[in-house]
Structure 1
Amino acid sequence: MTDTVAPKYYAGPAGGWGSLKGISRVLARELATPGIAETLMRQNKAKGYMCSACAWGKPVRPHVFEFCENGAKSTIWDLTHDRCTPEFFAKHTVTELLQWRDYDLEMQGRLTAPLRYDPISDRYVACDWEDAFAGIAAELKALDPKSVVFYASGKASLETSYLYALCARLYGSNNLPDSSNMCHETTSVSLKKVIGTPVGTCLLEDFARCDAIFYFGQNPATNSGRFLHPLQEAVKRGCKIIVFNPVREKGLMEFVNPQNPMEMLTGHGTDLAHMYLQVKPGGDIAALMGLCKHVLTVDEARRRAGAPGVLDDDFIAEHTRGFDAFATAARAADWREIETISGLRRTDLEAAAHVYMAAERVIGVYGMGLTQHVHGSQCIAMLINLLLMRGNIGRPGTGISPVRGHSNVQGQRTVGISEKPELVPLDWLAQRFDFEPPRDKGLNTVEACEGIRDGSVRGFISLGGNFVRAIPEQGAMEEAWQKQAITVYIATKLNRSHLVHGRASWLLPCLARSEEDLQEGGPQAVTIEDSFSHIHGSIGTRKPASTHLRSESAIVAGIAKALLPPHPRWRWDEWIADYARVRDLIEETYPDQFRSFNQRMFDAGGFYRGNHARERIWETDSGKAEFTCPSVMSALGVGTAPGRYHLITMRSNDQFNTTIYGFSDRLRGLEGSRMILLIGPNDMAREGLCAGDVVSLVSDAGDDVHRQVSGLMVTPFDLPAGCLGGYYPEMNPLIPLWYHDEASKTPASKSVPVRIQRKPI
């Protein structure tokens, strides 16, 4: 019966004809505006258009087609022929639209005119820009600035981000969370503590020199498709990839390069993973401890035999602190506990450790499979422990490489979007702009949600994104959201967040990055930062979707001019007329990182803003790279118990963040509904379930709060025992707001404690 059911599986590779068909399907549906082919050919190239999807690096010598399936979908999605006009809103109340699917809302196309919520008709109605700015300013002036949140989604340019952060601080608010709070804030906190930098140390060229890649909790085929090219090239020259992931993702197993005619003709690609270890949710600390323990065991055995050890003694002595304490903890770790918590066999972990020891140069790669746990910071610190043991940071072909999501989420933090005042040069800003900036810590995403729920947050400005849909506790948060005095949304398309509004609300349509940005000084370019700390210029050339659209920078400046008093140093009109003046401000504010900004912004491959940890300069409290001892072996916040499962929230192949392009999760062999529950066949049998049964998931976090997602179709899938899978953001109502990484408050979306509840018969 259910114990013999075959799990869903996709027999093809990542890439190949499937990828081209996925792009073609979206292109045919969207009937994108003329010039889409020219835009795709310029995508991610010097003096071209920088993709608005992921933050993967842009090579010095790009491929002919330097875009992936999801990157192409993102561009096509922006350049759709569909228009969401004021006439659309005249036909539908907000209450009615709240019943629509997320996909159907975005399928209405590009927003074309500024809109104001009218509570009498329960509709968004057209307004002109100056009235919108005046209305927003009047509402904000009536509020305590510390009660207003300025959120950024991670797509806005460096220029817009700098002006947005400046506007918030001139107003008096340090409440500047961004989307990294929901995904990679754990990286920023953990890496800063142990190696002194909040970002990765690798460059794109390191992947051409490494001998092994230890790869944790990230799916390149769906989230960073262009990463598959350097992975394939690395394997072909002999690099070994060791994957730790509860889900067997095709993007880490087999890749057919769509730009290789022979591979496309034959369908034969490259097997990527040398070992694929399906670690249990929360089991990464234990798995890494097992690797480190075996490295120490082999090192000691070799030294006893009179042979050279495997540790980099000189590096450890000169550049690190805390090794002895860590080594003692690793030696004392119990193999039975390691196997139980990780779900992996000792022999497999030892085999992976031998790959590590045999490699001269090793890179550690990870995604949200490490960051989104209650003890995610300790997961990252353990990966750093492994790398430090053999000096695998600060040499070519080595390092730590977190894979970021949104195209400029790292760059926004670089130029001042941060709720942490210690990360921003406030003294310099005070002198340059003649004001006293707020010095108190602002609100991060979780704290902003807590403030909305308790009523202390009275206003919310959103620079892009779909915040209400992306956060935990969706049901409770939507109810609390509407108690705010004001909400403002800067966006290209309609999404659910825009319909969950405050007492006063405005919806302000902006240009897409691929569209021409024409200001008083002529056509403008913008810049973004990729995951490798390289800065790239981007020029949009497509005709805007509407003559009423304004750039994100112009919208921010419009709000600022209406909100703030005139001041000779606050030159909003000049800054918008020529974005080069904003880049001059960025260079003045961060001179070490943005030297000759305007002159270098179109360098092929981007210009590098530097990373001291890559030079083995450790800006930690001790001045050394830190070995740390984990306080727990499991990253779970709520442990295992009979009948309790841990849910992983996942994105589909037809999705980027909360944007749903369609209902095909091709690379997992799943089609159709997103309301599915992925479960291992043995767990299905244990629960007495059959494929196609409809069940609910209920929270099992132990706080007596009822959280539930219903209408989930049971779908057999290859997952570790006790692990369930479901789609983000549909599963977000099951995540408690308090269930987050202890150090960074990143929601723990990769190990949500739940129980399966069958429908009453």
Structure 2
Amino acid sequence: MPREENVAHYDGPSGGWGSVRGIARIFGKEWSTPLATETLFRQNKPKGFMCVSCSWAKPANHHPFEFCENGAKATLWELTSRRCTPDFFAKHTVTELRGWTDYDLEQQGRLTHPMRYDPATDTYVPCDWDEAFRDIGSELRLLDPKSVVFYSSGRASLETSYLYALFARMYGNNNLPDSSNMCHETTSVALKTVIGASVGTVVFDDLSSCDAMFFFGQNTGSNSPRFLHPLQEAARRGVKIVTFNPIRERGLEVFTNPQSPVEMLTGKETRISTQYHQVRPGGDIAVLMGLCKHVFAADDAAKTQGKRVLDVDFIAQHTTGLEAFEAQVRATSWEEIEIQSGLRRQDIEAAAQVYVEADRVCAFYGMGLTQHVHGFENVVCLVNLLLLKGNIGRDGTGISPVRGHSNVQGQRTVGISEKPELVPLDKLAAQFGFEPPRDKGLNTVETCEGILSGRVKSFFGLGGNFVRAIPERGRMEKAWTAMRLTVQVATKLNRSHLVNGEVAFLLPCRGRTEEDRQASGPQAVSIEDTFSCIYGSLGRREPASEHLKSEVAIVAGIAKATLPANPKVRWDEWVGDYALIRDQIAETYPEEFHGFNERLWTPGGFYRGNAARERIWKTQSGKAEFTAPKTMSATGFSDVPGRYRLMTLRSNDQFNTTIYGYSDRLRGIEGTRDVLLINPDEMKRADLHEGQIVSLVSDAEDGVARAVSGLKVVPFSLPDGCLGAYYPEMNPLIPISHHDEQSKTPAAKAVPVRIMASAETASV
């Protein structure tokens, strides 16, 4: 049945009745038992289960409903009554299923049986677990370990992630890319370089003690909606909230709290941002240079009165590099700042004055900073701004990259990293009696390059939808089938499961909401949030199928079938009691995880610490480092006539590559994802009209043809020279080579494209 399409401007708040209706729509479609409601009440609560959606904090003083619209959707998605059984696979070939949409694939429900690809019939056929483990192990033993990749999505627990990384290293490689490589790897590289910690310094309590917040490239309303509660509280107590983002996202404009009966009945709204500036994609370096330029000017003026704006004591004691950075800022003209940012000087200065007058400032950012060719410069320039007034290492201050997937940060904490220098390899060697590989492994971009070249022979996917999430999908899918072995662990069917190696397995796992009963009884797992706090998580629902195994059991089963016996590596015991895995984590990482099991159920989680928050700078210089940016534009390409900066977007009806539906309520787009957002003035200049069907073609200067067709032109409030369209549908337009220079994070927030008009039109 065709979907009804509608595009209209949305003037309502984030939250409110729209959020309630969004949850109700998924609830009615996916589940019909009161048990779902009971599960939602346990979400993000002490002794409950931790949301599989975003990584926002689970505060000790929790709300009655400690879940947001997207968190509820993720839980109901996992608890669906639909089942994807062997009968389904018997009816549909893999080739046929490749033509299905992401949404329709996941609508088949929970996977119920381990499956093996049968090339003779082009279908998945059931197999038993012992067969799967044995055959995967046999294949892995025949391959060069350096040719095998162990990928993990951001939802696997700390226990699973620790064993997975141990398995990979005992097998013989550091090829451990994860979803962080696609989003916040730029953060890990930049913050590690300039403050010595690879994660943010803000903790949850800082939100209630700061007096100004600055946001850059982060869509709170869709990507971390529970953040709206402390934002609303901050706005009400007079905190100045300044936002820089190419799109005016409703979550950072106005909010109606769905948990407040008064607000729901009266329609009362809270204005969130006191200033909102639509910077051009790639223009944040220029904005930050402008903010710093005003701070220096304000400090000059204050000096004439015997005062200072800069925190000169902090700068002298804790930083290095100010002179070179200050010289560059002073030499940069306001004209260049305005051209590169797309903003007026007076608007940047108005924002900077908020910073000047504030005593305690927190800065938050998302992939609008990290996913650029010069994303590294974006992040270090934001650090520069904070260092000027000592806004790192005091209560109510700090830098906070808002992480996406629920445990993507925690995976790195316990060893999921392609960089051997970030992992205590000597401890692992002593602990488990083996010699870990010391060479650098493959990250996501390097994995893609290895698959294209034929060097990578096997891909093990622990969750996620790698094929759909990566750039250059057309070329990647063609090369993917040349691999010898692919193994995918998942709860639901997705595109990555349909692009197979010669030998392919699809292994269904239990979800986080489900009871994980092992030899010692029900098992808890743990996750880390965006503020570096660790939480226990305990599922209670009946598993979707008696044939499911936990992720821990799957990883251990394959590892045991692959590796030679080692008396120090007790796979069976670890599967029987996850507390034993936590003991091993604590032994490997004693500073962060001492007393792990005893602290597992700490209300609000236990904080694993951050040296930079204590003003201990684990950098090369031993101090926090000011950095002079080498460019004023983060895009990595020049502006030429006809070339646009494409920014990929997520709707409030999706999480990463999971599409819950076709309702992007907060942007007023219903029934379709095939849209091209462009401002009305650009439409006129390009001789386009609303509803026209167009194609986007790559304008990367590499000679490779790339295109996405069938996009409906929609007028939208965007900066000049900028286009918006949905991820992952636009991924075919992103070259593998288009990534941050330092971290190799794909640069999906400013992709060079051209519009190819079509005679075909559609009504709005």
Task: Classify the TM-score, shorter chain.
Answer: over 0.9
CA deviation string 1:143-181 (max 9, x = no partner): 000000000001000000000000111111110000000
- The structural deviation recorded for 1:672 is 1.1
**Structure 1 counterpart of 2:427, which letter?**
W
Q: TM-score, normalised by structure 2?
A: 0.98
2:274 partner SS: strand
For residues 460-479 of structure 1, the aligned pairs below 5 Å read 460-479=459-478
| Kept after mapping to 1: 8 A contact 2:646/2:750 | yes
> How many angstroms does 1:34 deviate by?
4.7
Normalising to structure 1: TM-score of the pair?
Answer: 0.99
| Alignment match, 2:146 | 146
Tell me, in whole angstroms, the C-alpha distance in 2 between the residues paired with 1:625 and 1:58: 30
Cα distance in 2 for partners of 1:95, 1:350 equals 56
Structure 1 distance, partners of 2:446, 2:426, is: 26
Match of 1:125 in 2: 125
The aligned counterpart of 1:63 is 63
Deviation at 1:210, TM superposition (A): 0.6
2:655 match: 656
Paired residue for 2:190? Answer: 190
Q: CA deviation at 1:39?
A: 1.0
Please show how residues 107-506 of structure 1 align to structure 2 within 5 Å.
107-303=107-303, 305-506=304-505
- Quote the Cα distance in structure 1 between the aligned partners of 2:37 and 2:608: 32
Give the SS at the match of 1:528: strand
* Secondary structure in structure 2 of the residue aligned to 1:429: helix
What does the per-residue CA deviation read over 1:387-431, in whole Å, with 9 as the maximum and x for residues that have no partner? 000000000000000000000000000000000000011111111
SS of 1:684's equivalent? helix
In the TM superposition, what is the alpha-carbon distance from 1:637 to its structure 2 partner? 0.9
RMSD of aligned alpha carbons: 0.9
Indicate if the aligned counterparts of 2:222 and 2:652 stay in contact, CA closer than 8 A: yes
**1:80-117 CA-partner distances (Å, limit 9, x unpaired):** 00000000000000001001111000000000000000
Aligned to 2:604: 605
Q: Report the residue type matching 1:301 in the other structure.
A: A
Report the residue type matching 1:550 in the other structure.
Answer: K
Q: How does 1:681-720 map to 2 (within 5 A)?
A: 681-720=680-719
1:3 alignment partner in structure 2: none
Give a deviation string over 1:350-395, Cα, whole Å, max 9, x none. 1111100110000010000000000001000000000000000000
Q: Does the 8 Å CA contact 2:534/2:606 hold for their aligned counterparts?
A: yes
Report if the CA contact (8 A) 2:298-2:356 is conserved: no
Q: Classify the secondary structure of the residue corresponding to 2:10.
A: coil
- Cα deviations by residue, 1:587-643 (Å, 9 ceiling, x for unpaired): 000000001000001100000000010000000000000000000000011121111
Distance in 2 (alpha carbons) for counterparts of 1:261 and 1:94: 49
In the TM superposition, residue 33 of structure 1 has moved relative to its aligned partner by 5.2
1:8 positional shift? 4.3
Q: Is the 8 A contact 2:184 2:367 kept in 1?
A: yes
The alignment of Structure 1 onto Structure 2 pairs a total of residues equal to 755
Indicate conservation of the 8 Å contact 1:463/1:491, yes or no: yes
Shift of 1:307: 3.3
Structure-2 separation of matches of 1:635 and 1:406: 25
What is the Cα deviation at residue 11 of structure 1?
Answer: 1.1
SS at match of 1:755: strand
User: Matched residue of 1:125: which SS?
Assistant: strand
Contact 1:7 1:716 in 2 (8 A): no
Residue 3 (structure 2) aligns with: none
Q: Measure the CA separation in 1 of the matches of 2:56 and 2:686.
A: 41
Residues 428-469 of structure 1, C-alpha deviations (whole Å, 9 max, x = no match): 111111111111000000000000000000000000000000
Deviation at 1:306, TM superposition (A): 2.4
Residues 465 and 495 in structure 2, CA contact (< 8 A), matched pair in contact too: yes
Cα distance in 1, alignment partners of residues 32 and 410 from structure 2: 29
Cα distance in 2 for residues equivalent to 1:66 and 1:250: 21
Report the Cα distance in structure 2 between the residues aligned to 1:173 and 1:505, rounded to whole angstroms.
21
Q: Find the counterpart in structure 1 of residue 563 from structure 2.
A: 564
CA contact (8 A) 1:33 1:80 kept: no
Q: What SS does the corresponding residue of 1:47 show, helix, strand or coil?
A: coil
Q: Is the 8 A contact 1:32 1:76 kept in 2?
A: no
Question: What is the deviation of 1:663?
Answer: 0.1
Contact 1:7 1:717 in 2 (8 A): no
CA distance in structure 1 between the partners assigned to 2:566 and 2:614 by the alignment: 42
The AA in structure 1 aligned to 2:78 is D
Task: Give 1:615's aligned residue.
Answer: 614
Q: Does the aligned pair in 2 maintain the 1:279–1:343 contact within 8 Å?
A: yes
CA offsets, 1:300-343, max 9 Å, x none?
A: 1221x223020000000000000111111111111001000000
Q: Cα–Cα, structure 1 residues 540 and 134, in superposed 2: closer, same or farther, change >3 Å?
A: same
Residues in 2 aligned to 1:133 and 1:690: alpha-carbon distance in whole angstroms = 56
Letter in 1 for 2:73: K
Using the alignment, how far apart are the partners of 1:476 and 1:696 within structure 2? 19
**Quick check: 1:8–1:717 contact (8 Å CA) kept in 2?**
no
Determine the structure 2 residue equivalent to 1:533. Answer: 532
Work out the CA distance in 2 between the residues paired with 1:140 and 1:49: 34
CA distance in structure 2 between the aligned counterparts of 1:589 and 1:690, rounded to whole angstroms: 60
Alpha-carbon contact 2:695-2:757 (below 8 Å) kept: yes
Deviation at 1:493, TM superposition (A): 0.1
| Residues 7 and 681 in structure 1, CA contact (< 8 A), matched pair in contact too | no
- Unaligned 5+ runs, structure 2: 1-5
The answer to whether the aligner puts 1:95 opposite 2:95 as a matched pair is yes
**Alignment deviations for residues 479-505 of structure 1 (CA, whole Å, 9 cap, x no partner):** 000100000000000000000010000
Alignment partners' CA distance in 2, 1:596 and 1:322? 40
Matched with 2:29 is 29
Q: Distance in 1 between matches of 2:267 and 2:424?
A: 53
CA contact (8 A) 1:151 1:177 kept: yes
Q: Does the CA contact (< 8 Å) of 1:8 and 1:718 recur in 2? A: no
CA distance 1:588–1:32, change in 2 (3 Å):
farther
Q: 2:639 & 2:33 partners in 1: Cα distance?
A: 52
After superposition, the C-alpha distances for 1:625-671 in whole angstroms (9 at most, x for unaligned) are: 00000000000111211111000001001000000000000001111
Give distance in 2, aligned partners of 1:291 and 1:639.
24
Contact 1:85 1:113 in 2 (8 A): yes
Q: Answer with 6-15 or 328-337: which moved more.
A: 6-15
1:106 aligns with 2:114: no
Q: Which amino acid aligns with 1:214?
A: F
Whether contact under 8 Å (1:741, 1:747) holds in the other structure is yes
User: Which position in structure 2 is the counterpart of 1:675?
Assistant: 674
1:287/1:338 contact within 8 Å kept: yes
Contact 1:33 1:79 in 2 (8 A): no
From the superposition, tell whether residues 415 and 754 of structure 1 become closer, same or farther in structure 2 (CA, over 3 Å). Answer: same
3-state SS of paired residue (1:273) = coil
Could you tell which deviates more after superposition, 425-434 or 503-512? 425-434
Gaps of 5+ in 1: 1-5
Other-structure match for 1:576: 575
Paired residues of 1:289 and 1:330 also in contact (CA < 8 A) = yes
How far off is 1:60 after superposition? Answer: 1.2
Instruction: State the shift of 1:704 in Å.
Output: 1.3
